[in-house]
Amino acid sequence: MRFIGNKEPIIGEIKSVLNQKGLLRDKNKLKLFDAFCGTGAVSNSLKDHFDLVVNDLLNWCVVYTKGRIVVNDCTFKKLGFDPFHFFNSNNLTKKGFFYKNYSPGSSKRKYFSPENAGRIDYFRNTIEGWKQDGKINDNEYSYLLSSLIESISFVSNTAGVYGAFLKHWDPRASKPIIFKRVETKNSKYSNLEYHNEKVEDIIEAVNCDILYLDPPYTQNQYGTQYHLLETLVLNDNPSVSQITGSRPTTPMRSDWSKMYKAHILFDKVLSKTRAKYILFSYSPDGFMSKSFIEAILKRYGKPETYECKKISYNKYTNFKSRGGKEHFEYLFFVEKKDSSNIYYESPLNYIGSKARLVPEINKHLPKRITTFIDIFGGGFNVGINSNAKHVIYNDINYFVKDLVESFKINDTYQYILYLKKIIKRYNLKKADAEGYLKVRNYYNSLPIEKRNPKLLYTVILYGFNQQIRFNGDHDFNNPVGMRWFNDKVLEKKISFSKKIKEKNITFKSIEYSDLIGEIGKDAFVYMDPPYRHTNGSYNDGKRGFNGWGLDDERKLFEFADLLNKKSINFMLSYVAEHRGKVNSELKNWVTSSNYSLISIESIPGVRRKEVLILNYD
């Protein structure tokens, strides 16, 4: 049958990717989860290669898919005759729901001729009766319903979908309906599990090896376009709307058809799936851009396994009828990382950010930590990636602390809408000072207690290098920059916001040394202070927050010694050498206290030696 987004034309390409990755096996079959199965085109054509899990938000899609897959099991032994022959050799009709609501028999709607609508009611009613009387089993029931869906597609007075009927009668609608067998692949399947849920609600529970995702990519709601088939399968006589006769569409609404909600769901599904391999079909015209998709697939997947195939539809469809415009679709593949190798990055571009060093830092952390204290939290790249049960975030800069906390306490979707609203209102663009200064002035004009971190975040995104810089009066004073709210930042924001919401975090904004009373024996203290030899904008005492000089460094060493005396494990991230300048105070302190000093890989192009100092083995 015709179906929006039907993948029948690209099955060959899907198979070829699976084959190339060595996943198309005849023995030791893998389990493939077709999470948005639609008409089951993909599952049906792969049924002899994989154990299958199929799912769709629409019930009729699940039944239709199931019917196609199980066809070889359907012998109709108990029924005792061939139902296709039976239906086609009588002319019985029934004035049921379809006749009354979807034909001019007793409505104004012209989905079917009265004769065909009566036949459809008769077929549906008879199939239900056989099921209730135990004459057909579950598979046979699905097979007959999928065949009924197939059959009505030849006589419906619609333009391909079933959202509305045509004003004038299409000649094919006057042909008498024939009860046809659903199109299927004549081969055996091994295992089939099926669900009728929102994929985002079941993703964690579904055990599978390969996840195939083919979500909607436009605002078009499948539930609206195919309401009639849902009613045909559910057979629940719903109350229907005036014009189209649609059942209530709310339960069928998909958030994948909404800008930004799709992004948030995609992140959730990728992070929660148990699958090792991910195959993803999407259109270049969809809500999510290729750069967003690539960033997110590389966050959860091994970057070296990432692939994006551009599949041209021109060889399958009538090129001329679309005015010669190239029409293509993406097919992405990635192998998922082990969960211990998945890292989240702060959406704040924080100076001195440890984002790139987190894997190295994690390697040197004790295996089990109950409370992780990130006492110079900053952008929170380190604390977010700790797997401690409880994390304490602290930063003396309360603007930064509020910013990081804003990702936890605000709904991510509403937050993004807010950003977009402000960007539009001030016409924010990269390197465009006009709107930028207006919004920055507005932010600075607010009393400190009224300053909204969401507004600050928007301003930051358009500032120079997206840095956070305040002057002595605590006014934000970063000039306009060359960056903007692009899809890579969006990806970081979404994945980070999800992670931060999942974690048990206490936020604080106090002088770090004042935390000492709260640090218990089971805590682990991570310290990533400003560095004396470097020049982060927060390093300069004139900028509204404390600077970082020799005295501060000494105080920090004393604080670390105090932790050590209390048998509290700590890790200090520091710079031992910067542009040829060696921090000899640091070296002396580490040697005399007998701490371990670990050199970590320096960032290419940056002439500084980053080290970790630990007071444990």
DSSP 130-182: HHHTTSS-HHHHHHHHHHHHHHHTTT--SSSSSSS--SS--GGGGSPP--PPP
Measured from the CB atom, the residue of 55 and 273 that comes closer to ligand SAM is 55
Count of positions (residues) in the chain: 617
CA distances (Å), origin 292, targets 67, 263, 303, 501, 577 = 36, 8, 14, 21, 37
Measured from the CB atom, the residue of 214 and 553 that comes closer to ligand SAM is 214
Least separation in angstroms between residue 3's CB and ligand SAM is 5
DSSP 279-291: EEEE-TTSSS-HH
Take residue 204 and report the two structure tokens written for it. Answer: 């964690």
Q: How many residues form the binding site for ligand SAM (CB under 6 A)? A: 24
CA distances (Å), origin 427, targets 390, 424, 435, 441, 443 = 41, 5, 6, 15, 15
Take residue 455 and report the two structure tokens written for it. Answer: 């507004």
User: Considering only residues 17, 23, 32, 41, which one is a binding residue for ligand SAM as defined by CB under 6 A?
Assistant: 41
3-state secondary structure of 406: helix
Measured from the CB atom, the residue of 51 and 170 that comes closer to ligand SAM is 51
Measured from the CB atom, the residue of 221 and 346 that comes closer to ligand SAM is 221
Rg (CA), the chain: 31
Take residue 5 and report the two structure tokens written for it. Answer: 């987004």
CA–CA distance, 90 with 439 (Å, rounded to integer): 74
Least separation in angstroms between residue 64's CB and ligand SAM is 9
CA–CA distance, 256 with 217 (Å, rounded to integer): 7
Measured from the CB atom, the residue of 126 and 249 that comes closer to ligand SAM is 249
Least separation in angstroms between residue 162's CB and ligand SAM is 13
CA–CA distance, 251 with 109 (Å, rounded to integer): 23
* Residues 5-34 within binding reach of ligand SAM (CB under 6 A): 5-7
* Cα 222 → chain centroid: 19
214 near ligand SAM, judged by CB under 6 A: yes
Least separation in angstroms between residue 83's CB and ligand SAM is 25
Measured from the CB atom, the residue of 39 and 406 that comes closer to ligand SAM is 39
Measured from the CB atom, the residue of 144 and 262 that comes closer to ligand SAM is 262
Site track 435-464 with ligand SAM (rule: CB under 6 A), x = hit: ------------------------------
Measured from the CB atom, the residue of 23 and 35 that comes closer to ligand SAM is 35
User: Considering only residues 61, 120, 136, 348, which one is a binding residue for ligand SAM as defined by CB under 6 A?
Assistant: 61
Tokens 């599978």 map to which residue? 208
Least separation in angstroms between residue 195's CB and ligand SAM is 9
Least separation in angstroms between residue 186's CB and ligand SAM is 19
536 near ligand SAM, judged by CB under 6 A: no
66 near ligand SAM, judged by CB under 6 A: no
38 near ligand SAM, judged by CB under 6 A: yes
Neighbouring-strand partners of residue 193: 53
Among 487, 247, 504, smallest CA distance to 370 is for: 504
161 near ligand SAM, judged by CB under 6 A: no
Stretch that binds ligand SAM, among 57-65, 354-362, 449-457, 593-601 (CB under 6 A): 57-65
CA–CA distance, 590 with 572 (Å, rounded to integer): 11
198 near ligand SAM, judged by CB under 6 A: yes
222 near ligand SAM, judged by CB under 6 A: yes
Neighbouring-strand partners of residue 390: 371
Q: In terms of C-beta density within 10 A (0-12 exposed, 13-18 middle, 19 or more buried), how is residue 408 classed?
A: middle
67 near ligand SAM, judged by CB under 6 A: no
Q: Do the strands 581-582 and 307-312 form a parallel or antiparallel pair, or are they unpaired?
A: unpaired
Stretch that binds ligand SAM, among 52-60, 70-78, 86-94, 100-108 (CB under 6 A): 52-60
| Longest Cα–Cα distance in the chain | 99
User: Considering only residues 1, 23, 31, 39, which one is a binding residue for ligand SAM as defined by CB under 6 A?
Assistant: 39
User: Considering only residues 47, 49, 56, 102, which one is a binding residue for ligand SAM as defined by CB under 6 A?
Assistant: 56
**Quick count: other Cβ atoms within 10 Å of Cβ 564?**
16
User: Considering only residues 53, 57, 560, 586, which one is a binding residue for ligand SAM as defined by CB under 6 A?
Assistant: 57
Chain positions contacting ligand SAM, by CB under 6 A: 3, 5-7, 36-39, 41-42, 55-58, 61, 198-200, 214-216, 222, 254, 256
